[in-house]
A and B are shown apart, each in its own frame.
Chain A
């Protein structure tokens, strides 16, 4: 069964600190993996999209890594800001059927 699991479920960090969010998937055959940021009351916004051959992709203070062998991805946030408080969703695309499989998300709260 195609699944995407994210950890932790929620996280609280102090402003300025770094954090790493995890995503494990069992989707096969794999096409790409995406990270989205969703602010409260808004739709998700794409942060990164990685294909099988890419193992790192950055978008400002956000850096995503992908290990296609172990089927794991991480999203690292550097020097966190209050505006980073949001839900971060990992999404994996399967080649077969062109369908997206969504993780449940990690809720990040950055405190001052």
Chain B
């Protein structure tokens, strides 16, 4: 059974640009959540999607957005990139949504903003 797939693996962008990251969940999983990981802040929750609807949202500015498609695949978009957006972006999938679900993480997309 294939795991969670994130693409691309690495990205280099410049300030002011926008970026779209992709996440394909484990087959049969209907929930996808996104996280930002930096050395200084650790893992921080961005948002969670289930059945194409955002169910939960963390404390990030509106420049961070996401969506989920009918096949459960999800994309995350960051507009007007800032230097501080440089981070490892992880997505995780689970069967259902909510705090009791076991999460399966992808290997992440390493974003560098220059």
Taking Cβ atoms with an 8 Å cutoff, the residues of A that contact B are: 31-32, 41-46, 49, 89, 91, 93-95, 97-100, 102-105
| A43-B99 in contact (CB<8A) | no
| B98-A98 in contact (CB<8A) | yes
Q: Which residue on chain A has the smallest CB distance to residue B43? A: A102
Q: Smallest distance from the beta carbon of A52 to chain B beta carbons, Å?
A: 12
| B56-A104 in contact (CB<8A) | no
| B45-A99 in contact (CB<8A) | yes
- A97 proximity list for chain B (CB < 8 A): 56
Looking at the complex, which one of A43, A49, A91 makes contact with B106 (CB distance below 8 Å)?
A43
Interface residues of B in 16-51 (CB under 8 A from A): 42-45, 48
Taking Cβ atoms with an 8 Å cutoff, the residues of B that contact A are: 4, 42-45, 48, 55-56, 58, 90, 92, 97-100, 102-108
Inter-chain residue pair count (beta carbon < 8 A)? 50
| A42-B107 in contact (CB<8A) | yes
- 20 sample A-B contacts, Cβ–Cβ < 8 Å, listed by A number: A31-B100, A32-B100, A41-B107, A42-B107, A42-B108, A43-B4, A43-B92, A44-B105, A45-B105, A46-B102, A46-B104, A91-B43, A93-B100, A94-B99, A98-B98, A98-B99, A100-B99, A102-B44, A103-B42, A105-B42
Q: CA–CA, A93 to B45, complex, Å?
A: 12
